[in-house]
Structure 1
Amino acid sequence: MVDFPVLETSRLTLREVVESDAAHILRIHGDAEHMRWFGSDPIRDLDGASKLIALFASWRKEPVSGARWAVTLRDRPGLIGTCGLFRWNRNWRSCTVGYEIAPAHQGRGYVKEALKAILTWGFREMRLNRIEAQVHPDNTASLALLEALGFLQEGRQREAGYWADRHHDLLQYALLNAQWRTANVD
């Protein structure tokens, strides 16, 4: 990807995560309770937020690359969350999806709307056949979201994740291009 793909939905603009988003990233990723399902320990300061932004930017330059979008409301400035496709295996035409949103914006359908845009983009532009997600078994909101988008559970990965000083089981989900094209997803 030379130019970062900007995606628009009816309520959202998805754009590159940039350094000026650091304070918003810190508010989301610094909240230990909110980030308990994210798969990494919370960041502690603006320097940590800047490093996370740099990590997202580096994905575009790596052989196993990806993209992380800032989720913003079309009518208001400021990042309310992020979502992305990463661990892109070009040979297998697969990748992994990840996402999070600020607590104040949960329950409004923003993540579903953003994911619809990036899943469509991934299947069309990256020519993906498979998009995977790994979710903590207790993260019921995320599990319901994935299932509403057509993802199917494929199994349990025992102690596959490590954060908050302990190992965590993760549920493996996947969505295939053929499912996405034929599904009636609202």
Structure 2
Amino acid sequence: MTVETVDPAPAFPSLTTPRLRLRELTPDDTPEVFEIHSDAEGMRWFGSDLLTRSEQALGLIETFAAWRKMPNPGTRWGIERKENGHLIGTCGLFKWNRAWRSCTIGYELARSAWGVGYMREALVAMLQWGFDNMALNRVEALIHPENQRSRRTVARLGFAFEGRMREAGFWNGETQDLELHALLMRDWPPGRLG
């Protein structure tokens, strides 16, 4: 049996939730992306060094856009509040292995938007799109062991802890252990996400 998958490159898939709009990042988002990615506390566990110049934020936006043209493509959404159009973070599916029906997720949120369920809301929409359009069976998240917020977020979405990867990451001049968490399609019953 052949599984049909959608090529993510032709048209950017905008998504909506009750409070959020997930949309393509543009150069106009450079100030907000810089603000998020230059916040030392907010980006403590993100997995890359802090941005120090706004040009780096524009480069990051261009990198996310280029993901869609890679051999193992990805899609990175800007997360904005519907009420005011303010960009509060990003989330994405990347390292898509079509043959293995798997990919990895990544995300970050401005500290001013923490604690009210925005990321969970965005990830539900993004994961549903991935399962529906990419024929995914497995989605992985690599999370720093001390990142309690992120660990709780993925656990609430049905991700299972699968193990610790020693010194798998490197940022802020140090090697970092990461935990592997994974979600299987069979563990994704949208009805349980209340």
Root mean square deviation, CA, Å? 0.9
Is residue 2:49 matched to residue 1:44? no
Q: Quick check: 175-184 or 104-113, which moved more? A: 175-184
Structure with bigger helix share is 1
Partner of 1:102: 110
Partner of 1:75: 83
Partner of 1:176: 184
Letter in 1 for 2:60: L
Letter in 1 for 2:56: G
Is residue 2:133 matched to residue 1:125? yes
| 1:10-29 equivalence runs, <5 A | 10-29=18-37
4+ residue stretches of structure 1 with deviation over 2 A?
none
Letter in 2 for 1:54: E
Residue-by-residue CA offset, 1:134-153 (whole Å, 9 max, x unaligned): 00000001001110110000
The 8 Å contact of residues 154 and 174 in structure 1, kept in 2 or not, is answered as: yes
Per the normalisation by structure 1, the TM-score is: 0.98
> What is the CA–CA distance in structure 2 between the aligned matches of 1:147 and 1:19, rounded to whole Å?
33
SS of the residue aligned with 1:35? coil
> What is the CA–CA distance in structure 1 between the aligned matches of 2:108 and 2:115, rounded to whole Å?
12
Per the normalisation by structure 2, the TM-score is: 0.94
> What is the CA–CA distance in structure 1 between the aligned matches of 2:124 and 2:161, rounded to whole Å?
18
Letter in 1 for 2:77: W
Letter in 1 for 2:107: Y
Aligned length: 186
| Percent of aligned pairs with the same amino acid | 49
SS of the residue aligned with 2:44? helix
SS of the residue aligned with 1:51? helix
